[in-house]
Structure 1
Amino acid sequence: MISKGAALRTAAGVIGGLMLVGVGSAAFAAYPDAEGSSDVDVNVDIAEVQNGALSLTVANTETTLTETGSTAEYRQFTGTLPDVTVTDTRSDVAAGAYWYVTGQAGDFVGTAGQPSIPASQLGWTPADIADGSGEVASGGEVVPASDTATLPGNNTGLVSGEDMLYLALDSADAKAVQGSWTTNAALKLKTPVTVAPGSYSSLLTLSLFEDSY
């Protein structure tokens, strides 16, 4: 037999439950009609998933040549190209794909209007690179046009794209490897002894290309 106190507690519980239901019903009541509306465009750019990258970086944007080794027949200026690094982080590269870095210089233009020095008078010697795989190699020496060639036809100066660093695959079936390779180059500029004094500047463009067999 349920006592009177227990019955009262049960009734209170039921009433309390109804009260909670009533509060919940009020919370989900319909909103009144809108008096006006406005739209907002929500935009997002989702980039394509990248499979790593092949990139070229240069340690500095300028270098300076200083006079060394001049003679009674010519004046000579030397310096070093800032470190050049090629990095390949790609995990999937087609067989036979290879890359290479070239350098091409413009004429040395005088800041005071003096006659320009042709780019053909600037040469370089890329530093040897130690690559355990043997697949990456440095380009050959290119000497100023007024020098005697050290290799057949290499006394042209940097007037066109000359190899500085390249991936040397043995065959079209070979695949490029991931890695990072850094090199630089010794620069040499030769001028006549009659060159006009003053400041000169040239733009040396380094370019990374990829090709395939």
Structure 2
Amino acid sequence: MNKRGIIARTAAGALGGLLLIGGAGAAIADTLDDDNVDVKVDIAPIQPVGALTFSVAADSTTLTEEGSTDTIRQFKGSLPEVTVTDDRAEVPAGVFWYVTGQASDFTGPGGATISAGHLGWAPKLLTAEGDGEVAEGPEVGTVLDPQADPNNVGVVGEELLALALDSQDAATVGEWKASADLTLKTPKNVTPGAYTSKLTLTLWEDEQ
């Protein structure tokens, strides 16, 4: 027999056997165990740089009697300095900000009250910089002032302290300060004693 032919057939058979063994090895492979890994990520929103904020220099003020008449007792004082700061890197277009104030009724001894309508104010802008980007609100009289003036209602409902018609323009200065002269007028026969009221100041920003 041709030895070369025998060697070739033997080699082919051995290779086939290896292939069969390899196939058998793949066929008998089985899953012994598995597990899962949860991949989680929290993608936080990009935080804006800077903010539009405001602060009040003090949390109280005192009114003292000044300018009373035979029929009306009058008390005056000042709103603590209010500061609006805008240090945002990007100020939205088409928005404006404003600060309002609203007073609660005064409460006094023995449950005595003086309605918030008896408190008036005259806002004033303290920041000299800028070119009219921010304006002070209108003066608001009390219910004991002449009622021909529609503003004589007292600081009872979100009265305007200061207004920036364009937040982008106002931000060029960056910081604005405002205050207000406060006036309380009561009837002559008001119950004597210490009275307190809460004046809530709020900074708003809205679309034009």
Which of the five TM-score ranges fits, normalised by the shorter chain? 0.7 to 0.9
Q: Distance in 2 between matches of 1:132 and 1:143?
A: 28
* Residue 168 of structure 1, CA deviation: 2.0
Is contact 1:105–1:158 with CA below 8 Å preserved after alignment? yes
User: What is the distance in 2 between the residues matched to 1:154 and 1:147?
Assistant: 10
Measure how far apart 1:131 and its partner are.
4.0
C-alpha contact 1:121 1:190 (8 A) present in aligned 2? yes
Mapping 1:38-57, distance limit 5 Å: 48-57=46-55
SS in 1 for 2:117: helix
Counterpart selection for 1:125 from 104, 122, 127: 122
The more displaced of 201-210 and 44-53 is 44-53
TM-score w.r.t. length of structure 1: 0.72
Letter aligned with residue 142 of structure 2:
P
Answer yes or no: is the 8 Å Cα contact 2:79–2:182 preserved in 1: yes
Q: Give how far 1:200 is off.
A: 0.4
Higher relative helix content? 2
**Superposition pairs of residues 72-87 of structure 1, within 5 angstroms:** 72-87=70-85
2:112 is aligned, of 111, 115, 119, to: 115
Counterpart of 2:97 in structure 1: which amino acid? W
Which of structures 1 and 2 has the bigger CA Rg? 2
Q: Match of 1:158, SS?
A: coil
Q: Percent identity?
A: 48
The amino acid of 2:143's aligned partner reads: A
Q: Tell me, which stretches of 5 or more residues in structure 1 are unaligned? A: 1-43
Aligned positions, number:
165
| 1:32 equivalent in structure 2 | none
CA distance in structure 2 between the aligned counterparts of 1:73 and 1:181, rounded to whole angstroms: 39
Report the CA distance between 1:153 and its aligned residue. Answer: 1.1
3-state SS, counterpart of residue 153 of structure 2? coil
Partner of 1:7: none
Letter in 2 for 1:55: T
1:2-151 aligned at under 5 Å gives the runs: 48-110=46-108, 112-129=109-126, 130-148=128-146
State the 1:145 CA deviation. 1.0
- Show the counterpart of 1:28: none
**Residue 182 of structure 2: aligned partner:** 187
Contact 2:125 2:162 in 1 (8 A): no
**Quick one: which amino acid aligns to residue 205 of structure 2?**
E
| Map of 2:171 onto structure 1 | 177
- Provide, for residues 59-108 of structure 1, a one-character-per-residue CA deviation record: whole Å limited to 9, x for no partner: 00000000000010110000001000000011212211110000000000
Larger mean Cα displacement after TM superposition, 152-161 or 197-206: 152-161
Rate the CA distance shift 1:113–1:45 in 2: closer, same or farther, 3 A: farther
